Amino acid sequence: MSHRPDHEPSTASAGDAPAGFSFRIDGRDGAARTGVITTPRGAIRTPAFMPVGTQATVKGMYMDQVRALGADVILGNTYHLMLRPGAERVAGLGGLHRFGGWSGPILTDSGGFQVMSLSKLRKLSEQGVTFASHIDGSRFELTPERSIEIQGLLGSDIQMQLDECVALPNERAVIDKAMRLSIRWAERSRRAFESQPKGRALFGIVQGGDQPDLRVESARALAAMDFPGYSIGGLAVGEPQDVMLAMIETVMPHLPDDKPHYLMGVGTPDDLIGAIARGVDMFDCVMPTRNGRHGQAFSRFGKLNFRNARHAEDPRPVDETSSCPAARDYSRAYLHHLIRTEEMLGSMLVTWINLAYYQDLMAGARAAIAAGRFTDYAAEVRAGWQRGDLAPYGG
């Protein structure tokens, strides 16, 4: 590693896959699958966790660190990037890969989710959504066509249709209406995407809240449009985990089996294990980075909150067997000190620890699926979280 932008091609093997966008399943274990998504910018080993690089940076990380952890793909947020620095400016500077120093594949969301959760003065219509920036109040319009245009200007390798995502619980009528609007926007997104260079992919997004029949209807409608990949949106938005997992089970039989399945914005390590068991191939979530910034680490031993005084005199590293320097070479006492004194290095190190753990969890899942022992793997990692790793002087 060299603390630099990442200019290395992916080391993941794509075998003899074609140069465009494709997905190959190499192993199955129950509903779980492991395989490789091939893109012109490199291969993505699945199941894959995508670190979130909201504003053209994975917060607190150098891109070469992200790459070295085994991440094959990162996510960029269309909403944030359209506000600052602006899609046209990024394009003028050579695109998002060059701008942010990440040479591998980038997946972008459509911007719709953050418009709903962050912006002000929203006005939704059949045409799209107008809103005021949460930063300076300036006005923007996001339509299916403009979202795809922005994602194209960024140079995104895997793009998302604009959709309407509603919080849960919610009235069935609201969920129904948003799901049907999202299907119409899927079709418009698909047409807008046709002018983009070959090798890029557009995913449709399943909506339908916690209503099984609406989820099925959404999945079938999108499948009929023949997208190269399918996202499951509108989950982890307030519902219990069992509802989320039930919705995944409901949807899966109606999505093309030979295309990647991406569960958006999820989740905890336990969520990931549960979703992989049900056939999900791709994930993104701010949890490892956001929680890491505030001192909460994810590890083989479960969660460690470094604000907690029980770490104050603990000379042990977080995980001496980890290949991540942050987990292996710094004492818990030092991490506690850095978090308590609000030092940047504390946020940097715990973020790094968390992204390492998420990538290790995915690597373990891929190997376990390939070996036909994913159920055992899931039980082992859960037992590790339960067992924990209290300091001898406890507390």
Q: Answer yes or no: is 274 a known binding residue.
A: no
Q: Answer yes or no: is 388 a known binding residue.
A: no
Give the distance from CA 176 to its chain's centroid. 25
Considering only residues 367 to 386 of the shown chain, the ones binding its own copies according to CB under 8 A are none
Nearer to its own copies, 50 or 236 (CB): 50
Least Å distance, CB 150 to its own copies, is 16
Least Å distance, CB 114 to its own copies, is 14
Binding range to its own copies, per CB under 8 A, among 2-10, 231-239, 372-380, 384-392? 2-10
Note if 109 is an active site residue.
yes
Q: Rounded distance, CA 101 to CA 254, Å?
A: 38
**Is 61 among the residues that bind its own copies (CB under 8 A)?**
yes
Q: Answer yes or no: is 159 a known binding residue.
A: no
* Count of residues in contact with its own copies, rule CB under 8 A: 45
**Is 1 among the residues that bind its own copies (CB under 8 A)?**
yes
Count how many Cα atoms sit within 13 Å of the Cα of residue 192 in the half-sphere of its side chain. Answer: 24
Considering only residues 86 to 125 of the shown chain, the ones binding its own copies according to CB under 8 A are 89, 92-94, 99-101
Nearer to its own copies, 15 or 394 (CB): 394
Nearer to its own copies, 226 or 342 (CB): 342
Note if 64 is an active site residue.
no
Least Å distance, CB 330 to its own copies, is 7
Considering only residues 247 to 266 of the shown chain, the ones binding its own copies according to CB under 8 A are none
Q: Which of 29, 64, 72, 109 is catalytic?
A: 109
**Is 5 among the residues that bind its own copies (CB under 8 A)?**
yes
Considering only residues 41 to 60 of the shown chain, the ones binding its own copies according to CB under 8 A are 55-57, 59-60
Considering only residues 345 to 364 of the shown chain, the ones binding its own copies according to CB under 8 A are 345, 347-348, 352
As beta bridge partners, residue 201 has 158
Least Å distance, CB 181 to its own copies, is 31
Q: Which of 176, 281, 284, 360 is catalytic?
A: 284
Least Å distance, CB 68 to its own copies, is 9
3-state SS string over the chain?
CCCCCECCCCCCCCCCCCCCCEEEEEEEECCEEEEEEEECCEEEEECEEECECCCCCCCCCCHHHHHHCCCCCEEECHHHHHHCCCHHHHHHCCCHHHHHCECCCEEECCCHHHHHHHCEEEEECCCCEEEECCCCCCEEEECHHHHHHHHHHHCCCEEECCCCCCCCCCCHHHHHHHHHHHHHHHHHHHHHHCCCCCCCEEEEEECCCCCHHHHHHHHHHHHHCCCCEEEECCCCCCCCHHHHHHHHHHHHHHCCCCCCEEECCECCHHHHHHHHCCCCCEEECCHHHHHHHCCEEEECCEEEECCCHHHCCCCCECCCCCCCHHHHCCEHHHHHHHHHCCCHHHHHHHHHHHHHHHHHHHHHHHHHHHCCCHHHHHHHHHHHHHHCCCCCCCC
Q: Answer yes or no: is 113 a known binding residue.
A: yes
Nearer to its own copies, 94 or 388 (CB): 94
* Contact residues for its own copies, defined by CB under 8 A: 1-5, 55-57, 59-62, 65, 80, 84-85, 89, 92-94, 99-101, 293, 312-313, 315, 325-326, 329-331, 333-334, 336-338, 340-341, 343-345, 347-348, 352
Binding-site residue ranges for substrate: 109-113, 163, 207, 234
Catalytic residue numbers, as ranges: 109, 284
